[in-house]
Amino acid sequence: MDVKKLGRIPDGGGWKANGRAAASKTKNRKKRVGFDFIHSIVDDHTRLAYSEIHDDEKGETCAAFFERAIEFYKGHGITIERVMTDNHWSY
């Protein structure tokens, strides 16, 4: 189980698609685009993966994600015995 943090790309593309000059002429430069957090869990035996995209990686979000993942795996006949994560504070 892990969370991957990815930067959001603004509508119309970022500076790589439109060039640095276009990025400096945007209307609201102070508005931050932010990040998406992809929460993922993979069954070690079947390699069946479950993922969701959220706005944060807080403990409450991780716990709710894990509860939904348990139900997802239960629907596929998989019982979770142990969970392996890194030592991130939200787990």
Q: Give the pLDDT of residue 62.
A: 94
Q: Are 54 and 39 in contact (CB under 8 A)?
A: yes
- pLDDT above 90: percentage of residues in the chain: 62
Q: List 53's β-bridge partners, or say none.
A: 38
Rounded to 5 degrees, φ, ψ at 6 are: -125, 135
Checking if the pLDDT of 20 tops 90, the result is no
List the end-to-end C-alpha distance of the chain, in Å, as a whole number: 9
Tell me whether strands 2-7 and 35-42 are parallel, antiparallel or unpaired: antiparallel
The confidence band for 77, taking pLDDT boundaries of 50, 70 and 90, is: very high
Give pLDDT tens digits for 55-68. Answer: 999 999 999 999 99
| Both structure tokens of 27 | 């209307």
d(CA 62, CA 47): 20
Three-state secondary-structure class, residue 18:
helix
d(CA 55, CA 34): 9
